Amino acid sequence: MENLKILIIENESLVALEMMQTIKSFGYSKVDYVTNSKMAMELLKKDNFDLILMDINLGEGIDGIELYQNLGIDTPIIYITAYKDDTTIQRAIQTNPIGYLVKPHNDSELKALLLLAKKKINNISQKEENSNIVSLGEGYYFNTNEDKLFYNDVFIHLGKKELLLLKLLINARGNVISYYTIEQEIWGSQSVSDSTIRTLIYRLRGKLEHKLIESATNYGIYLKNGKF
């Protein structure tokens, strides 16, 4: 990726404009900005970006962390914040950001974070170009050649049945896998209780972001980002 398409979400228009001009001076030509959550949601419905710079304090009903969660996208994000309290940082960490730009920021910090973002995004793109790699979202990916799950290049051990269940979900490509199918594919003719099946699902969820595996009430489960 030679360049990044960047979106700035900052409620102070003068700050957003100044940041956009600074980023463009670094050589990034594809930069846009919006000043509230409504504008951000409308723009992201019709356009894709490689990176989002999000102010945590948007001066309205929801903050930047909530907005990013509500968007339901996995676009890499850098938070812009004047908040350093543990509660805010812990909330932000749950969204797996590339980093934080603390106000008042300086240009060298901004430039360094953009270079870090570019490197990480390039690494993700290279993995996705490899047909053996299946991106599951939130930094998780599965190597189909090795039958191994990774989170940001860190190997995550799966038990035999957990691995079988994950492969079932991946092969379903976002479609619902019924509890009956799970029982037949993993246990075969062996009869098992509903609690045994749900325990297996719970264990796998514990090794992924819980929100990556969604439930279809009383029927089965599916991968939220399963349409690879």
Whole-number pLDDT of residue 1: 42
Whole-number pLDDT of residue 125: 66
Beta bridge partners, 9, equal: 34, 54
Whether residue 6 contacts residue 53, with contact meaning beta carbons closer than 8 Å, is answered with yes
Beta strands in 47-139 (DSSP E): 51-55, 77-81, 99-102, 133-137
Q: Is it the case that residue 85 has pLDDT exceeding 80?
A: no
Q: Is it the case that residue 128 has pLDDT exceeding 70?
A: no
Whole-number pLDDT of residue 130: 56
Q: Of the candidates 196, 197, 204, 187, which has an alpha carbon nearest to the alpha carbon of residue 220?
A: 197
Contacts of 217 (CB under 8 A, 6+ apart): none
Q: Is it the case that residue 78 has pLDDT exceeding 50?
A: yes
What percent helix, strand, coil does the chain show, rounded to 5?
Answer: 45, 20, 35
Q: Of the candidates 73, 79, 64, 152, which has an alpha carbon nearest to the alpha carbon of residue 110?
A: 79
At 33-77, the pLDDT tens digits run 999 989 999 998 888 899 999 999 888 778 899 999 888 788 899
Beta bridge partners, 96, equal: none
3-state DSSP call for residue 154? strand
Whole-number pLDDT of residue 133: 84
Cα 52–Cα 58–Cα 62 angle in degrees, nearest 5 = 100
Domain locations in the chain as residue ranges:
5-129, 133-223
Q: Is it the case that residue 212 has pLDDT exceeding 80?
A: yes
Distance (Å, whole) CA 117 – CA 111? 10
Distance (Å, whole) CA 37 – CA 63? 9
Q: What is the mean pLDDT of the chain?
A: 88
Beta bridge partners, 6, equal: 31, 51
* Pairing state between β 77-81 and 99-102: parallel
Do the two domains 5-129 and 133-223 of this chain adopt the same fold?
no
Fold observed for domain 133-223: Arc Repressor Mutant, subunit A (1.10.10)
The whole-angstrom distance between residue 8's C-alpha and the CA centroid of its chain comes to 18
User: Which one is predicted more confidently, 147 or 173?
Assistant: 147
Whole-number pLDDT of residue 32: 94
Beta bridge partners, 7, equal: 32, 52
Q: Is it the case that residue 21 has pLDDT exceeding 70?
A: yes
Q: Which whole number is the average pLDDT over 143-167?
A: 93
Q: Which whole number is the average pLDDT over 14-21?
A: 93
At 161-171, the pLDDT tens digits run 999 999 999 99
Q: Of the candidates 128, 113, 109, 114, which has an alpha carbon nearest to the alpha carbon of residue 4?
A: 114
Q: State what percent of residues in the chain have pLDDT above 70.
A: 94
Dihedral of the alpha carbons of 76, 79, 84, 90, in degrees to the nearest 10: -30
Whether residue 209 contacts residue 138, with contact meaning beta carbons closer than 8 Å, is answered with yes
So what's the architecture of 5-129 in CATH? 3-Layer(aba) Sandwich (3.40)
pTM assigned to the model = 0.58
Q: Is it the case that residue 156 has pLDDT exceeding 90?
A: yes
